[in-house]
Structure 1
Amino acid sequence: KEMESHKRGEKRRKARNPVKNEEIEELDEQPGCSTEEVVRGKKGRTKAQKKYIGAHVSIAGGIWKAVEASVDLGGHSFGLFLGSQRSWQRPALDQSAAVKFQQACAQHCFDPAHILPHGSYLMNCGSPKEDIFAKSQDMLVDELSRCSVLGLTQFNFHPGATLGSSKEQCIERIAQALNHAHQQIPAVCTVLENMSGQGSTVGGEFNELKSIIDHVRDKSRVGVCLDTCHAFAAGYDISSAGGVKSVLDEFDQVVGLHFLRAVHLNDSKGKLGCHLDRHEDIGRGQIGISAFRNIVNEPRLDNIPLILETPGRPGFEYAEQIELLYSLCE
C-alpha cells in the first residue's frame, strides 16, 4: 500500500514538474530515495522546485499516514494536527507510531523544516481566565514535546484572544506561555500565525506579532507563518498588482523576514479588510489567481513550507490545487 501511494504521488510530481538531467546539479545519493525524492532537498532544485508546496493532511489511521497522504497528493511539504482537536486531555504519543512517522519521512525524504504541525484550536495562550491560560500553556508544552518525539523542528499555532483584557495584557501572556514552553522543551521553534482580526484575536496586525516576539527571551525559538486569507481579511492587499511584494516588504520592515518560517496558502471568501476567517479554494475567492502566481514566483518564499488549508471541493481538491500552483511557477 505504501509503495502504491508513493507511485501515485510520483506520477503526479512527474506530470507537474518533470526533472531533467541538465537541471540537477550534484544531487547527493541518499539511501532509499529515488531521484524524484532527492529533489525534495535543497541541492540541485530548479526554480519551481525551490517552492515546497503541500497541504494540511489527516492523521487518521496513524500519524505516519500523514506522510503517505502528502506523497499521494504530490506535496513537497505538509501540515498536520498532532492529536485530537476536541479534548484538552489526549493520550500520550505512541513511541512505535513516532518511529513509523520518522521512517516514512526518511523514506520519502521530507525534511523536518518542510513539515509544520498545527496547534489545537482549544488553546488560548492569551486568555485572561487563569484556568484556560494554564490549560493552554500545558497543551503548548505537550505539543512541543510531541514535535520533539517526532523529530520535528517547528510548531505553528494561533496566538490567542483578549476576551475582555487589553491587547498588551494578552500579548504579555502569550509571550509568558512561550517562554515557559521553551524552558520545558528544547529546540522546537514556536511559529505564530497571523490572524484575520476577527473578534478579539491578537495577531492580525504585523506590529502585534512583532510585540509578541519582542517579549520572547529566545528569539531563535520563535517565528511567523503568514496565512494569505488572514492577511487579506486583516487588510493587507496581496491581490493588487505588486501587492505580494509590498506586503512582504512591510512584513520585513515591521517583523523581519528572517522570522518568516512558513505560509498558509488560502484564498478568501471575504473581501479585503473584512476580518472574517473564511478560506476559499485557490483562485476561487477574493484574492484571485494572480496573487498566487506572484506568491509561487516570489524568491523570498523559497525553501519554506507553503501549505494549503482550503476547502478542497470535489474536482478541485488538494492534489489539483498543488498541481495548479506548481504550474504557475515561471
Structure 2
Amino acid sequence: MFFGAHLSISKGFTAAVKEALAIGATTFQFFTRNPRGGGAKALDAEDIEKAWQLRQEHGFGPLVAHAPYTINMAAEKEETWAFARQTLAADIVRMGQARIPYIVVHPGSHVGQGAEAGVERIAAALNAILRPDQEVMVLLEGMAGAGSEVGGRFEELRAIIDRLDVPEMVGVCLDTCHLFGAGYDVHDFSAVLTEFDQVVGLTRLKAMHFNDSLQPLASRKDRHALIGQGQIGATALAEVLRHPALASLPVNLETPGELADYQREIAWMRSAVLENDKIK
C-alpha cells in the first residue's frame, strides 16, 4: 500500500516529491491545474525526469492527478460540456507526459436533467475523449450524492462504464467520506466492497481517498474531517486500511489539515495496517 496526501505541484513535481518524502509519503495526489479555473502550468521535462528518478529511488507507488472541479461531464449546456471534454482530454495528454498513470474526475452534476440523462452525457463525453492506446486511466470518483451529483451510487458508476466504447481505460476512485455520506457504511468495509464488486467490479478500484466524515451516515454531504475526528472514527478507518483489496493501491489523505497533520496521519495509517491502533 502507498500512503500519501493531496499536495501542490506549483513549484514542480520534484519539489512535490521531496515534500512527500518529508511527511513520510510514498505517493501523492495533485490538481492538474487550478481546481476552480481552467489555467494549466506548462510542464518541465527536466523536472518530470528528476521527479521520476526520485520516485524510483524511494519506492513510490503511482501518483494520482485530480481534474479541476470546473469539469462537468453531465452538463446539459453545450459550452460547459465542451469545456469538460476539452480540459479532460488535454490533461490526459499532459499527465501521460508527466508519467502519471491516473487522473481522478468527478463524474458531474445533471443539474435537473435527472440521473439517467446525466449518465448518458458523461458517457458521451468520455467516448469523445478516451482512446485505447492512451497512457492515463480516468478514474471516476464515487461521490456523496449531494444535490444533483452523479456517481453517489455504485449503479450509476456501472451505468457510465457500460456505455463506454473503451471501458478498459476507466477505473474508480473511492472516498471514505463520500461512501459514508452516500449511505455505504464503512464500519463494515468488507460488505461495502462486496457490493462494489457485485455492481462495478473490484478490479476497477485503482485508488482511494482517505478521510473521516463530519456528517453522519447517508447525509449526502461531502464534509471531510481529520482521522478520528468525525463520524466514521479511527477504529473503522483502521479496518478499511487493513482490507486486502487496498494492499497495492495509492491511498491519499484529503483531510482538512496542514503538512504536520498529514505527516502524523500517514504515520498512523502505516501503523494501523500492522496493529490495532487509534489516533491520538
Class of the TM-score when normalised by the shorter of the 2 chains: over 0.9
Q: Distance in 1 between the 2:155 and 2:263 partners? A: 35
Q: Distance in 1 between the 2:186 and 2:132 partners? A: 38
CA contact (8 A) 1:145 1:185 kept: no
Runs of 4+ that moved beyond 2 A: 89-111
What is residue 76 of structure 1 aligned with on the other side?
26
What is residue 52 of structure 1 aligned with on the other side?
2
Alpha-carbon distance, 1:78 to partner: 1.1
Say if 2:171 is the partner of 1:226. Answer: no
- Equivalent of 2:208 in 263, 275, 280: 263
Q: Distance in 1 between the 2:176 and 2:159 partners? A: 21
CA-based RMSD of the aligned residues comes to 1.7
Say if 2:261 is the partner of 1:326. Answer: no
CA contact (8 A) 2:6 2:254 kept: yes
Cα 1:90/1:329, change in 2 over 3 Å: closer
Alpha-carbon distance, 1:168 to partner: 1.5
Cα 1:289/1:53, change in 2 over 3 Å: same
Q: Distance in 2 between the 1:163 and 1:94 partners? A: 38
Say if 2:13 is the partner of 1:63. Answer: yes
Count of residues paired in the alignment: 274
Q: Structure 1, residues 91-119: CA drift from partner, whole Å, max 9, x if none?
A: 433333333333332333324xx211111
- Equivalent of 1:125 in 51, 73, 81: 73
What is residue 141 of structure 1 aligned with on the other side?
89
Secondary structure of 1:202's aligned partner: coil
What is residue 108 of structure 1 aligned with on the other side?
58
Alpha-carbon distance, 1:63 to partner: 2.9
Secondary structure of 1:169's aligned partner: helix
What is residue 47 of structure 1 aligned with on the other side?
none
Alpha-carbon distance, 1:278 to partner: 0.4
Q: Distance in 1 between the 2:230 and 2:112 partners? A: 32
What is residue 190 of structure 1 aligned with on the other side?
138
CA contact (8 A) 1:268 1:278 kept: yes
Gapped regions of structure 2 (runs ≥ 5): 275-280
- Equivalent of 2:223 in 238, 261, 278: 278
Gapped regions of structure 1 (runs ≥ 5): 1-50
Q: Distance in 1 between the 2:103 and 2:236 partners? A: 26
What is residue 246 of structure 2 aligned with on the other side?
301
CA contact (8 A) 1:267 1:283 kept: yes
Q: Distance in 2 between the 1:185 and 1:168 partners? A: 29
Give the TM-score, by structure 2 length: 0.93
What is residue 247 of structure 1 aligned with on the other side?
192
What letter matches 1:311 in structure 2?
P
Secondary structure of 2:162's aligned partner: helix
Q: Distance in 2 between the 1:175 and 1:300 partners? A: 27
Secondary structure of 1:217's aligned partner: coil
Counterparts of 1:150-169 in structure 2 under 5 Å?
150-169=98-117
Give the TM-score, by structure 1 length: 0.79
Alpha-carbon distance, 1:156 to partner: 0.6
CA contact (8 A) 2:95 2:136 kept: yes
- Equivalent of 2:151 in 197, 203, 223: 203
CA contact (8 A) 1:66 1:80 kept: no
CA contact (8 A) 2:33 2:39 kept: no
Stretch of structure 1 that moved more, 280-289 or 161-170: 161-170
Secondary structure of 2:43's aligned partner: coil
Secondary structure of 2:8's aligned partner: coil
CA contact (8 A) 2:132 2:169 kept: no
What percent identity do the matched residue pairs reach? Answer: 39
